[in-house]
Structure 1
Amino acid sequence: MKSILIVAIAIKMSIFVCFGQATNPEEPTTINGSDLIVKQYIPDFTSVFPNPERGWHNRRDVDGRGGDDDRDFSDVKSAGHTLLHSYLRLDDFKETDRIPRSYLNKLQEALDTIRAQGLKIILRPTYVWSEIPSVPESRILKHIEQLSAVISNNADVINHLETGYLGKWGEWHSGLYTDLSNRNDGDTRYRIIKKILETTPDNIPLAMRYPMHIREILDELPVPAGSEPLTQIQRDRIGHHNDCFLFNENDRGTYARLNIWFGDQTLAQQKQYTFDLITSYGGNKIVGGETCSPAIDRIDDTQVEMAKANWTEININFWGDAIDMWKNRWLSASGNDPAESEFDRISRKLGYRLRLIDATFPMSATAGGSFTIAANFSNDGYAGIVKSRPIYLVFENDTDRYNIELANVDVRKWVSGPVVLTRQTVNLPPGMKSGTYKLALWLPDASVSLQSQPCYSVRFANQNVWDASKGYNLITDSLIIK
């Protein structure tokens, strides 16, 4: 016998209050003849499935230096990954202010391929691989402008940028302008960050290698003469990439920068600065990176630190021994997480993992009238959705589809833990045909150019909800429009 879901229905739907729990969440209960129902949804706590802008990234060189094979991303798709990472190798241009058009064209071709294959990419410009770089500031700023023109034209498939340019591998160490003890070089660092931010769209996050460089730019350095202050939007864009995650107690120098011109910080203070990174609107900043050779000493800290720092993405290709350690380490069941390998847990929880718990809505509505819905979610991932994207109610029958945006909802605020979609009321089109409709929630990419591709839409962690061909999450398939 099915238990009864008891719903207290306030007059004129002014509130939604739910008591008890239904044993069959796929069969909503109507109480006292009302048209208002609460429907609960079956969770998926175990599956690893792709979602855009999060998860493992695959390393490729897409600027033509790695050969044609680096344009075949079929293995990335088959592995269920949605992200690539590429260095932009500027080695050949250290002595010239102009990046050749041929190089920029190859980059454009690669970005076209990435778009066609339903992926996004993380880019990091770098001048050297093993030597100490010494490219002057004036040349760096000119190169930024040229690369930013291509990046801006392809912002739809740029997941985020790593600051690059300075130091070995573009990691802001071992080279000109990287020394945190040099206050004057701080002005150069500011101008480089400002130039990247000014010449790329506001919807592209920027990740910096060292937390104390972030703190310098955001909190300590006076705005250099001739420069403008960072806007709040620009400040919100700056996050972190940790490229020696868990290597040792200070992640191989990530959290042990010394002789800092604005005052040394303890290891704990530097780590906490990373944990506290948050946007002005309450969302998470981008946090990603990789492990480094030979492996990781602090494997026991993986889950705690990924959750505290709100990790969104990490390299699957480097360092191989560290990845194998995660694959071979078994974790006990904890909360809603099943017993599984650490690799699988990381795969599920990197970035966001939105699970629909219940939704409250009427089972019928009138064309041209209003429609109200509320819902409860849980974000079971380490982080929220970092980049802005719209959320729509979809009403669809055999011939027509109506997408109505919930304009006052910012999904970037849906950070880890409980998430409430408060009552949202929309007006239905007056020309809707009467009949039975599907009702769905659709979170497509913010770029119109990608919205027709379902792989760029957010999938909920539920059973019997995701429609892969439409890219939306089904709320009900039996809504009556009168």
Structure 2
Amino acid sequence: MDQLEPILKNNYDAIAYLEAGFIGYWGEWNRSTNGLRTNPQARRKILQKLLSVLPPQRMVALRYSYYKGDIFNQQRPLSESEAFNRSGRARTGAHNDCFLAGIDDWGTYSHTDPKIINQQKAFLNSDNRYLVQGGEVCNPSPYDDCPNAQKELAYMRWSTLNGFPSDGKSILADWVTQGCMANIKRRLGYRFRLLNAEMSNKIAAGEPFALNLSVINEGWATAYNPRKLEIILRHKSTRRNYTLLTEENPQFWMPGQKTTINIIAKTPSTLPSGTYEVFLNLPDPSKELSHRPEYSIRLANKGTWEEDDGFNSLQMNLIIRSK
């Protein structure tokens, strides 16, 4: 892990999250020939070391989420006040690599008793409000048809699903045949759609700019990695862009909920007078990626995406007058 640390540090911005690995077959924390799976101290030491070598902006995903409580000596799910605070618990999500393979997803849950399974799923439902949940299918079963698949993906708040599993390809093909694959692709992770925007239409340079937004997250999960919200003002004559920073954190735009955002952003006193187009920008905060449009979030509204810059147009104008 020490050998990996500089690689992870230099390339973390291109990493979605890190599956824990290092124990057992396929790094799935099972059937360890060294007895590490059954050794709580070894599990704790390995996870804590992984968290220390991976930059704090990224999460680690555990194959068996019920180990998390023992590792951190805390059985309750994350609270909103703990979310995204970069503690070990707030950076430890889950991955299920035998999704829908059986009643217990082939050992993903610690028992075949439905009551125990439901308790562990309820934990994930709460914990995953602020964490990554990924994985893949592995074996056809009576549990993998579209209705149950979508119900489970939504309840456990899945963000990622392997589209090219070594096993279980027939399951993905069935989802296409049964008609739910398009919806699964659309709703994995977050899906932000702007519902409404109201703003100042004329201010002087240096005065506050007020913008009120309503956004709904139509996905099954949150944005588990850091993300910014910026307002971009583009002068219609010179085409120059000016960025207004906000303190809004899109990671708290929750699945199935409408979020109201009230922004007061001060404009530069040197802002040239004229008419400006107004855009929202949700860039990756890393220095290397913040100006790359393919890493900005595209809202799910039609006709608002500006591909060249990665901006979302509000299709509204702001007039800046001279003082």
TM-score computed with the length of structure 2 as normaliser: 0.89
Matched, 1:449 2:288: yes
Contact 1:459/1:472 (8 A) holds in 2: yes
Contact 1:384/1:416 (8 A) holds in 2: yes
Alignment of 1:60-99 (within 5 A): none
Matched, 1:353 2:200: no
| 1:215 positional shift | 2.4
| 1:212 positional shift | 1.5
| 1:161 positional shift | 0.2
| 1:417 positional shift | 2.0
The counterpart of 1:287, out of the listed 126, 133, 154, is 133
Contact 1:436/1:478 (8 A) holds in 2: yes
SS at match of 1:347: helix
Aligned to 2:3: 146
SS at match of 2:189: coil
- C-alpha spacing 1:372/1:155, structure 2 compared with 1 (3 Å): same
- C-alpha spacing 1:312/1:465, structure 2 compared with 1 (3 Å): same
Alignment of 1:8-47 (within 5 A): none
Distance (Å, rounded) in 2 between the aligned partners of 1:171 and 1:206:
13
CA offsets per residue over residues 156-206 of structure 1, 9 Å max, x none?
A: 101100000101000000113444xx4xx1111111111111122111111
User: Structure 1: which 4+ aligned runs deviate by more than 4 Å?
Assistant: none
Aligned to 1:297: 143
Distance (Å, rounded) in 1 between the aligned partners of 2:25 and 2:49:
20
CA offsets per residue over residues 334-377 of structure 1, 9 Å max, x none?
A: xxxxxxx2100001000000000001112222111110111111
Distance (Å, rounded) in 1 between the aligned partners of 2:204 and 2:74:
57
Matched, 1:414 2:263: no
Matched, 1:425 2:243: no
| 1:232 positional shift | 5.9
Distance (Å, rounded) in 1 between the aligned partners of 2:154 and 2:8:
30
| 1:296 positional shift | 6.1
Distance (Å, rounded) in 2 between the aligned partners of 1:294 and 1:167:
24
Distance (Å, rounded) in 1 between the aligned partners of 2:86 and 2:291:
32
SS at match of 2:17: strand
SS at match of 2:51: helix
Contact 1:249/1:298 (8 A) holds in 2: no
Aligned to 1:465: 304
Contact 2:36/2:42 (8 A) holds in 1: no
| 1:153 positional shift | 1.1
- The amino acid across from 1:302 in the alignment is A
Alignment of 1:248-287 (within 5 A): 248-257=102-111, 266-278=116-128, 283-287=129-133
The counterpart of 2:26, out of the listed 166, 169, 173, is 169
| 1:389 positional shift | 1.1
Distance (Å, rounded) in 2 between the aligned partners of 1:369 and 1:438:
17
Distance (Å, rounded) in 1 between the aligned partners of 2:216 and 2:241:
28
Distance (Å, rounded) in 2 between the aligned partners of 1:208 and 1:316:
20
Matched, 1:327 2:176: yes
Contact 1:244/1:254 (8 A) holds in 2: yes
Aligned to 1:402: 242
Aligned to 1:156: 13
SS at match of 1:154: helix
SS at match of 2:257: strand
Kindly, what percent of the aligned residue pairs are identical?
30
Alignment of 1:49-60 (within 5 A): none
| 1:308 positional shift | 1.0
Distance (Å, rounded) in 2 between the aligned partners of 1:460 and 1:254:
34
Count residues in correspondence.
304
Contact 1:246/1:291 (8 A) holds in 2: yes
TM-score computed with the length of structure 1 as normaliser: 0.61
Distance (Å, rounded) in 1 between the aligned partners of 2:230 and 2:298:
13
Contact 1:177/1:186 (8 A) holds in 2: no
Choose 1 or 2 for highest CA Rg: 1
- The amino acid across from 1:325 in the alignment is D
The counterpart of 1:481, out of the listed 317, 320, 323, is 320
Matched, 1:191 2:45: yes
Deviates more, 1:312-321 or 1:471-480: 471-480
The counterpart of 1:246, out of the listed 100, 111, 128, is 100
- C-alpha spacing 1:317/1:295, structure 2 compared with 1 (3 Å): farther
Aligned to 2:222: 384
Distance (Å, rounded) in 2 between the aligned partners of 1:202 and 1:368:
36
Distance (Å, rounded) in 1 between the aligned partners of 2:120 and 2:191:
28
The counterpart of 1:233, out of the listed 78, 84, 87, is 87
Contact 2:8/2:53 (8 A) holds in 1: no
Aligned to 1:317: 164
SS at match of 2:69: helix
SS at match of 2:227: coil
Deviates more, 1:192-201 or 1:412-421: 412-421
- C-alpha spacing 1:349/1:429, structure 2 compared with 1 (3 Å): same
CA offsets per residue over residues 54-92 of structure 1, 9 Å max, x none?
A: xxxxxxxxxxxxxxxxxxxxxxxxxxxxxxxxxxxxxxx
SS at match of 1:371: strand
Aligned to 1:79: none
CA offsets per residue over residues 397-439 of structure 1, 9 Å max, x none?
A: 23321111112x1111101123323321111011111111110
SS at match of 1:412: helix
Gaps of 5+ in 2: 76-84
SS at match of 2:170: helix
Gaps of 5+ in 1: 1-143, 222-230, 259-264, 330-340
